[in-house]
């Protein structure tokens, strides 16, 4: 039931990034703890993400490995080439569903487990969510992920949605609950009680803004209620110790204060380039930059700092920024970004 998302969602924690070697070591620790299902990378974002997904598949750390991407054919092909199963997310503003459906249908013919995320479910009615899940079932999708992308739902609300979907379809459902208002663990447990098939968690509840549900908390709940028997809590603690030391070295102890819901500052910081591209949905203008950055984010950072750059070279600038972050295994500062933009040729 538990899907670990630390290696992908955790990379979106403000101020955080991991190198290839750090990701591989963490993957080994998480898998050794008995977690069998993991979303490990965003392969279309950068070659380092592709390599992580490919090598985790080759080392057989997990029973099911997923790479994440958009519902576009090029992303699907890249994920497929890693050997991992294919997890796709819809755009945050949907313009052309016919093309999206065709691309999903294409993915379903590749012989992998196909998961599709219907993002921001708090913005849709239950009827709209049901129609989407029924359509995914018709297309041959194996799992529909229902993310509370902005952490707006409460336990009653998410429980109602899961129950309605489970009643109307036979498709498997995965819950992905963000923690902006401190509801991630409660919402995840509500989803479990409503009959969800999978739940996403991360070590220390890390992730975009102030993250999602915490892994060891949910693992403990599943164990105490005899829902998950393979997870070794002591093994998870070893993964937590490793992640803790990474956070201390890369960010410092203030991360744990800043990551608190409501009180902390992380809930106002974006990392994912896909979020920044849809500014009408995600209005925050504070950014953390690593390999998950995007063109619009970098343009806004340069503009906000009155940096002149060659607009024809913006894709090259973004590529260099991603390369630097991957090489160092760190999020980049504004000073780093300005330097790279100035030196781009």
Q: Tell me the pTM.
A: 0.91
Which sequence spans correspond to the domains of the chain?
A: 2-254, 268-343
The answer as to CATH 3.20.20.70 being correct for domain 2-254 is yes
pLDDT the model gives residue 276: 46
The tokens of 218 are what?
């949910």
pLDDT tens track for 168-210: 999 999 999 999 999 999 999 999 999 999 999 999 999 999 9
pLDDT tens track for 90-148: 986 667 889 999 999 999 999 999 999 998 899 999 999 999 999 999 999 999 999 99
pLDDT the model gives residue 330: 93
Alpha-carbon distances, residue 304 vs 288, 301, 324, 329 (angstroms): 14, 5, 21, 25
Q: Looking at the predicted structure, is the pLDDT value of residue 274 above 70?
A: no
Query: What is the C-alpha separation between 190 and 40, in angstroms, rounded?
Result: 25
Are 86 and 57 spatial neighbours (Cβ–Cβ below 8 Å)? no
pLDDT tens track for 5-32: 999 999 999 999 999 999 999 999 999 9
Helix axes 126-139, 155-168, angle to 10 degrees: 40
pLDDT tens track for 152-162: 999 999 999 99
């Amino acid at each position: 039931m538990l899907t670990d998302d630390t290696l992908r969602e955790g990379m979106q924690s403000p101020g955080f990034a991991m190198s290839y070697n750090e990701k591989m070591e963490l993957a080994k620790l998480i898998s050794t703890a008995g977690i069998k299902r993991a979303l490990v990378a965003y392969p279309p974002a950068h070659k380092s993400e592709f390599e992580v997904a490919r090598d985790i598949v080759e080392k057989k750390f997990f029973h099911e490995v997923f790479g994440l991407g958009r519902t576009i054919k090029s992303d699907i092909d890249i994920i497929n080439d890693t050997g991992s199963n294919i997890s796709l997310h819809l755009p945050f503003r949907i313009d052309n569903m016919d093309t999206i459906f065709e691309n999903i249908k294409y993915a379903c013919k590749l012989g992998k487990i196909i998961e599709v995320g219907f993002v921001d479910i708090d913005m849709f009615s239950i009827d709209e969510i049901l129609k989407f899940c029924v359509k995914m079932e018709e297309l041959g999708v194996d799992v529909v992920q229902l993310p509370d992308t902005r952490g707006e739902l409460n336990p009653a609300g998410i429980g109602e949605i899961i129950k309605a979907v489970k009643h109307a379809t036979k498709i498997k459902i995965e819950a992905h609950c963000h923690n902006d208002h401190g509801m991630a663990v409660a919402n995840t447990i509500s989803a479990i009680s409503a009959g969800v098939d999978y739940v996403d968690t991360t070590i220390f509840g890390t992730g975009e803004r102030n993250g999602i549900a915490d892994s060891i908390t949910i693992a403990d709940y599943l164990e105490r209620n005899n829902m998950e028997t393979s997870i070794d809590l002591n093994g998870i603690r070893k993964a937590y110790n490793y992640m803790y030391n990474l956070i201390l070295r890369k960010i410092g102890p203030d991360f744990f204060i800043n990551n608190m819901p409501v009180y902390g500052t992380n809930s106002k910081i974006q990392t994912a380039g896909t979020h920044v591209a849809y500014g009408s949905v995600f209005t925050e203008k504070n950014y953390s930059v690593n390999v998950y950055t995007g063109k619009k984010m970098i343009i806004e950072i340069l503009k906000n700092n009155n940096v002149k750059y060659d607009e024809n070279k913006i894709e090259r600038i973004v590529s260099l920024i991603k390369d630097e972050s991957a090489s160092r295994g760190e999020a980049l500062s504004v000073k780093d970004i300005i330097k790279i933009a100035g030196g781009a040729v």
